[in-house]
Structures are given as structure tokens and as C-alpha cells.
Amino acid sequence: MNRDDLTDLNAFVAVAEEKSFTRAATRLGTSQPALSNTLRRLEARLGVRLLTRTTRSVTLTPAGEEFLQGLKPAFAAINLSLEAIGSLRQSPKGKIRITAPRHAAISLLWPMLRSFVKDYPDIEVDVNIDAAARDLTGDRFDAGIRLGELVAQNMVAVRIGPDLRLAIVASPGYFAQRGIPITPHDLLRQTCINFRLPASGELYAWQFKKADQEVKVRVPGQLSFNDPDMILAAALDGRGIACLIEDHAHAMIRDGRLVRVLEDWCPLFPGYHIYYPTQKNNSAAFRILIERLRFRGR
């Protein structure tokens, strides 16, 4: 196998994974026509059709699918060797892609990155803000950040922040008009602001616990959002009761713009963790980032 063969095979893998000549060309830093010619040359040399092309999509033929599965272990081994060599560098280098919800990115990731990028100028960090769970391997992320209880068991999870609590809040004006709920079930007679889960599209059922009592309440309300900042804005405007992570609303509770209720029904729960596949071969750059994020207590 010569150098051109390896380039052609890498082009095929990129198109197969991206399912698009446009995205694959961007990934490889080449033009779409040049990439298309490369794939045609590869198919001609192999004497078999690997891709089915339409104006809107690119799909693998059965032969292409079989070929891709055969190539993946080989390219994984090459990447492992490259990462191993890279780890021997005196100055760590590489690109790390992370997906994280906005709250975790602002409260935990960015405070670390401010000094990290100065200390390691050869390490690129690409952060995708997304509250939904992502397929790390399929979407080519190195790691994700989620609440500890939501991380899949087949992932390596490293705690990066303290335990959290929920805060049930509304504006003083709202409570003056509607009264203060004493128990979670009192919320059924209130107007609440719902959170729509990004992954499933379902409305979040508010969860409460006090001693040995656990309660889930599907609250009524005119408004629902899939973004906590919008929920906070609606609560500040007196549109209903909101359920938010405590430190998201802390400043507004402290200065009296929001009033907190049902506090004794909101226990601590596991905070944010960074997670990644167990089979991932961690580069020196990745290991350094994990250690910088690792939570070491207050």
C-alpha cells in the first residue's frame, strides 16, 4: 500500500461517517469535486461500487458497509499509534471535542478553560453547547458532560463539580396572588413553568424527596421551555413557579427577585460529571484536561 492508497481509504471513511461529500470535504480540508473524484478512483481500482449517491444523500452499498467495518479497526490502530507518539511530546498537542449543557459549560468548564488555554497553547478545545445526550462516538466527541445520575453505566465518569439541589421559585408578586405551596402536591393547584427534556421531548416530572417520602409531580402550566434561561426569565416576570438548579437562581433568591419554597423537599443529588467511552485511548492532552476538571472538594 502506498501513500495515495491510504489517502483514498481515509477519504472513503470520512464520506461514510459523515454521509455527505460536503461535510467530509470540510473535515478533510479539501474540495467536494476533488473528494468525489478520489472516491470514483477508489471504486474503479477496487472494481466495486461502495457508495450510492443521490442529490440529497450518500449511503453505503452492502459492499461499502462491509469495507468500512473492515477498515475501522485498522484506522483505530493508526490513531492509537499517533496518539501514543503525541503523548511523548514535551508540550501536549491535540484537539478535544466536548459536548455539554450550557449551565455546566458556564459554571464549570469555562472557569477551567480560562487558564487551561494559556497553559497549553497547542491544545485546541471545541465545545458544543447542547442539553441533549449525544452519541459521543457517532458525533466524534471525545467526552460529554452530564449530571452524574444520567451518565450511562458503560462510560467512564469523572466528577467535576459539587452535588447540586433544585430550587422551586417564583416572583414575590406571583406568590402574593396565588399563595405559597406547602407540599409538592399543592403545585397541582398552581401555575408552573415546565421544562421540556431536549432528548425525549417530554415534560420533566418534578421530583421531590423528604425523609423516606419520594414524590413526582407533573405540574400544570401554560408555558414550557427546553432552556433554563427562558424558564428563569418567565419566573422573574411572574408567569409561574419554576424548577431550576439552585445556583442558577441563587442571585435572584438572594436579592429578593425570587422567593424559594419547598426547600425541605429538595435534597442534594450528584452534580456534573465528564464522561467518555471505556475503550478510548486517552491522549496526554485529554488526560491533562480531565485532571484539570476533576472535582477535589471545596
**Structural domain includes residue 298:** no
* Whether residues 146 and 172 fall in one domain: no
**Structural domain includes residue 37:** yes
* Whether residues 188 and 119 fall in one domain: no
**Structural domain includes residue 24:** yes
Q: Which residue has the cell 449511503?
A: 59
CA 128 from centroid of its chain's CA atoms: 7
Residue 277 — pLDDT band, cuts 50, 70, 90?
A: confident
Residue type, 293: L
Among 45, 62, 88, the domain boundary falls at: 88
Beta strand extents in 131-277 (DSSP E only):
143-147, 155-159, 166-170, 193-195, 206-210, 213-217, 223-225, 242-245, 259-261, 272-277
> Residue 40 sits in which domain range?
3-88
* Whether residues 214 and 171 fall in one domain: yes
Among 88, 115, 143, the domain boundary falls at: 88
* Whether residues 114 and 262 fall in one domain: no
**Which among 268, 251, 269, 261 has a CA at the least distance from the CA of 219?**
261
* Whether residues 171 and 265 fall in one domain: yes
- In the chain, what percentage of residues exceed pLDDT 90? 60
* Whether residues 69 and 97 fall in one domain: no
pLDDT at 116 over 60: yes
Residue 1 — pLDDT band, cuts 50, 70, 90?
A: low
Q: Based on the structure, what is the number of domains in the chain?
A: 3
What does the alpha-carbon distance between residue 27 and residue 235 come to, in Å, rounded to a whole number?
Answer: 42
What does the alpha-carbon distance between residue 159 and residue 236 come to, in Å, rounded to a whole number?
Answer: 32
Residue 4 — pLDDT band, cuts 50, 70, 90?
A: low
**Structural domain includes residue 8:** yes
* Whether residues 153 and 279 fall in one domain: yes
* Whether residues 135 and 278 fall in one domain: yes
| C-alpha cell at position 74 | 485498522
Question: What pLDDT, on the 0 to 100 scale, is given for residue 3?
Answer: 63
**Structural domain includes residue 177:** yes
**Structural domain includes residue 80:** yes
Q: Which residue has the cell 409538592?
A: 184
* Whether residues 201 and 245 fall in one domain: yes
Residue range 47-94, pLDDT digits in tens:
999 999 876 778 999 999 999 898 888 877 777 776 666 655 567 888
* Whether residues 103 and 171 fall in one domain: no
pTM for this model (two decimals): 0.67
* Whether residues 168 and 260 fall in one domain: yes
**Structural domain includes residue 195:** yes
Q: For the domain that residue 12 is a member of, what is the CATH number? A: 1.10.10.10
Q: For the domain that residue 123 is a member of, what is the CATH number? A: 3.40.190.10
* Whether residues 11 and 43 fall in one domain: yes
| C-alpha cell at position 82 | 499517533
